[in-house]
Homo-oligomer: A and B are copies of this chain.
Amino acid sequence: MELASTNIINTFLHPKSVAVIGASKNPVKGGYRIVNNLKSNNFKGKVYPVNPNSKGKVFGLEFKKSVLEIEDEVDLAIFYVPNRIIPELIEECIKKGIKGAIIEASGFEEVGDKGLELKNKILKISDDFSKIRIVGPNCMGLTRIDGDSTSEGDERGGFFSSFGVFTQYKRGNIAIISQSGMLNGGYLMYIMEKYPNLGFRYSCSIGNKMDLSEIEFLDYLINDSTVNVIAVYLESFRNPRKFIQLCRKAKTIPNKTIILVKGGLTSLGQKASLSHTGALAENSELINAIIKQSGVIRANSFHELFQFAGTFSMMYNTSKNLPKQGNIAMIAGSGGAGTISADLTMQYGLNFPILDNETYKTLEEVFPEWMPPNKFAFIDIWPAMEKAMMNGIKTEVVMNKVYKVILEKSEIEGIFNMLFCSKRFSAMNNLDQIVENVNKAKKPIFFWLIGENDEVQRISNMLAVHNIPDFPCLEELVKNFWILVQESKNKQIKQL
């Protein structure tokens, strides 16, 4: 479901026609890249390149000297021009009846008095943004992804950043709201290339929030059913009360999670933020109170933000039940990894519960006498595999049996797997089939992969296709399960 077209954010994320002001034939210019992105990624709306200094065509589209030369209606203007000429161009946009403008340049309030003057001009021209709404300045534009880059024709259509030309992307259930342009630029491209199975729906670089802010975008994305996960980076809160309200509303929607990285938590971060977005220092206790009351999942870095977003994305894609208690079983092939995982599990307030008699007996059958299974849900599976091999039984029979008995137990809400990846082991066991079976359960299954590089990569890709997360580090694995429990608790509280 797309939102009512009356919502102003629709103009920005679903425009029917776009004027690119500052469009260029020069490939190193952002104004060229925006047109390139729109055309080569098959944006379905109309595109008008505008530049009084350019003649002829770019991507087959004729340059206009001004938006006033465009005959058809225009929804949105994207500005890729220096700050000082923007006020007069905004005036032309208003005259043309354009409803929204994205300003990518910086040099407004954040750089001092001269910039503030420019902002005040725009305020006056737009009659306090009643005549036109603005995203930015100092932003990297907006991205909407309608289909995968591997799709054909119309399916693919999107709407992209000025940073570079997107050639690899996948549509999915994650949306980004960011006060750092990087998250709709280099970092997003990097993540999309590195994790080709991770899918995105929107990325909204909101910049310095001269007019529209996280509030309007959050409101829109919470109500957009194509979005399950909203990953947010903020350097300042526009309206803490409204932010808390919106986040709480999201808690009442079963398949909606908001994750936040807040920059400017420390005095040093605030200094950096002031130079970046002009955001004034916020009291750190106030920030903590906002985060606590809003019940968002908190991330400490961009890496965590995208890792958490990926985990929730996969959980929602496969309709997994979020764990309520934090009871996990771990299946491993190393006692040391089991010990460290147990420590981390307990440190994060999770647990490997005691096994009931029936489960224990079933496990006991597949384990050798000289190394019986544990009485609690940490299963060092190696002795059982060895026993099978000695008895000429396929090891995958043992693996399937262990998974089955564990997954049947309702008190166990998820599985941690440590897997040594080698071609020999994969050939011995029909791992792909095991994974497919195991994933039918509505419980989160997390993997920690080590072993031969190529095989680690192959299995990681295979798991990603099945929406099963894997982690390079046990602490990240435990932390990512812990956030599922957090979110489940948050949702219970808000639904009371």
Contact = CB atoms under 8 A, between A and B. Distances in A.
Interface of A: 83, 106-107, 111, 164, 178-183, 186-187, 189-190, 193-194, 233, 235, 261, 263-269, 271-273, 275-277, 300-304, 333-347, 351-352, 370-371, 374, 376, 378, 380, 420, 422, 450-453, 456, 472-476
Contact of A343 (B182, B266, B347): B266
B374 A335 contact: no
B351 A180 contact: no
A111 to B, nearest CB: 6
Given A345-B268, A376-B271, A340 B181 contact: no
B181 A378 contact: no
22 contacts: A107-B370, A180-B335, A180-B339, A181-B334, A182-B334, A182-B336, A183-B336, A186-B334, A186-B451, A193-B452, A266-B346, A266-B347, A267-B346, A269-B339, A272-B338, A272-B339, A273-B339, A276-B336, A276-B338, A301-B473, A302-B473, A303-B476
A340 B261 contact: yes
Nearest to A266: B346
A164 B475 CA distance: 26
A304 B107 CA distance: 41
A300 B473 CA distance: 10
A111 B369 CA distance: 10
A374 B266 contact: no
| The 3 residue pairs across chains A and B that have the minimum distance between CB atoms | A180-B336, A276-B335, A269-B343
A305 B380 CA distance: 22
A453 B194 contact: yes
B269 A300 contact: no
A22 to B, nearest CB: 15
Contacts of A451: 186, 189-190
B302 A474 contact: yes
Nearest to A186: B420
Nearest to A340: B263
A164 B333 CA distance: 15
Contact of A264 (B193, B276, B343, B450): B343
B263 A346 contact: no
Tally of this chain's copies: 2
A342 B269 contact: yes
Contacts of A164: 422
Contacts of A186: 333-334, 420, 450-451
B263 A336 contact: yes
Nearest to A188: B450
A338 B271 CA distance: 10
A271 B342 contact: yes
A189 B455 CA distance: 13
Given A182-B337, A193-B452, A342 B303 contact: no
A301 B336 contact: no
Nearest to A347: B266
A301 B374 contact: no
A190 B418 CA distance: 13
Given A265-B343, A301-B473, 17 more contacts: A186-B334, A186-B450, A186-B451, A235-B339, A261-B340, A264-B343, A268-B342, A268-B343, A269-B346, A271-B378, A272-B335, A273-B335, A273-B339, A276-B335, A276-B380, A302-B337, A303-B476
A475 B194 contact: no
A275 B450 contact: no
A170 to B, nearest CB: 15
Contact of A475 (B303, B347, B450, B453): B303
B276 A340 contact: no
Contacts of A190: 450-453, 456
A475 B340 contact: no
B337 A275 contact: no
Nearest to A105: B370
Contacts of A344: 300-301
Nearest to A279: B339
Contacts of A107: 370-371
A214 to B, nearest CB: 14
A163 to B, nearest CB: 9
A336 B269 contact: no
Contacts of A340: 261, 263, 269, 301-302
